[in-house]
Amino acid sequence: MNEKSDKLDELRLEVGMIAERVSTLPDLYLGVINTIGGHLTKNFGVAIYICQDGFFSYLFGFGNISEKKIVKYGEGMFSICSIRGKVTIHNQNNKTMAYAPFYNGHQLNGILFVECEEAQYIVTEEDIIFLEEISRFIEIRSKQYNNTSIDNT
């Protein structure tokens, strides 16, 4: 196995154990961000944006995030990702940004956002699969916290 595969496998395992340690949806989100963020190097960032009142709103993040904290529905890559309904990769200003949507049924709950400098990291199919798995984990685990509200104000 290569180093990248090993690192992603380690992250999968660590993220999978988060649900055993948290009791609210915000804690789940924060656990995912802190777990992934703890493995990031300089010039990387990870964040969760939630869908609320017609906006994608930054909830938690770790590292370098160049996206705005609040993005109106219909604008930017968050909206493109939500329309596509799958992991969306965007390259701009020597950065690679990945947007991974997560849902409750057909309702978009939020987007896991990851950013890195192109010179530092090459995004591959393996990374896309990893993001799909993390998004799915969030979807499944979110169901046990249905009555938990999130206030990011």
Compute the Cα dihedral for 74, 76, 78, 81 and give only its sign.
Answer: positive
* Helices 3-16 and 25-37, axial angle in degrees (round to 10): 160
pTM: 0.90
Q: Could you read off the pLDDT of 45-98 as tens digits, one per residue?
A: 999 999 999 999 999 999 989 999 999 999 999 999 999 999 999 999 999 999
CATH class for the region spanning 3-145: alpha beta
Least confident of 43-47, 57-61, 121-125, 137-141: 121-125
Q: How many CA atoms lie within 13 A of 130 on its CB side?
A: 22
